[in-house]
Amino acid sequence: MHTLFLLRHAQPANIAAGGGTDADRPLTALGRRQAELVGERLRLRGVGLALCSSALRTRQTFESTGLDCPAEVMDILYHGGVQSMRQRISEVEEQIATLLVVGHAPTIPALAGQLSDDSDDAGQIGSWYPPATLTEIAVGGPWADLAEDDSTGVLRGIQRP
């Protein structure tokens, strides 16, 4: 059995009036603290690998968790949608037991809802998924199965800030 953690980036700053792009938005002080608190929980779980969007706020979210695991930063997790994220997760090596994906709304909450079983909380995932929300999903089969649209897991919990 694998464990998948889906994390929406922590609280970002607004786009500066003087310029910058959405991808360049950093975390606020609150966002850094949110990520530190998420990291306290995740450090107890032995995350083996993190997949992280290339946006500054997601990279800073991962860094602020304090996790000591490899991280792969990729543009597809910033620009792509749910299917792209499912595909990338399906390519993770089987020996990785616990995976963290740090990304954005609407992709992270949409994927969390798709992968969750029929529990009462599953239907409510997308309705309120603020920054720094963490969803835990137990995946019964190999990571490769997640490339299929009909594959699901068991929702283990949702932690909102």
The contacts of residue 93 (CB under 8 Å, 6+ apart) are 143
- Whether the CB-CB separation of 125 and 115 falls below 8 Å is answered with no
- One digit per residue, the tens of pLDDT, for the chain of length 161 reads 999 999 999 999 987 655 678 899 999 999 999 999 999 999 999 999 999 999 999 999 999 999 999 999 999 999 999 999 999 999 999 999 999 999 999 999 999 998 986 655 556 676 789 999 999 999 999 999 999 878 788 999 999 98
Q: What is the pLDDT of residues 101-127, one digit of tens each?
A: 999 999 999 999 989 866 555 566 767
β 98-103/2-8 pair status: parallel
Q: 86 in helix, strand or coil?
A: helix
Q: What is the pLDDT of residues 64-80, one digit of tens each?
A: 999 999 999 999 999 99
β 98-103/154-159 pair status: unpaired
Where are the chain's structural domains?
A: 2-159
CATH number, domain 2-159, options 3.40.50.1240, 3.10.110.10, 1.10.4190.10, 3.40.50.620: 3.40.50.1240
- Whether the CB-CB separation of 15 and 22 falls below 8 Å is answered with yes
Say what the pLDDT of residue 20 is. Answer: 79
- Whether the CB-CB separation of 12 and 27 falls below 8 Å is answered with yes
Q: What are phi and psi of 61, to 5 degrees?
A: -60, -50
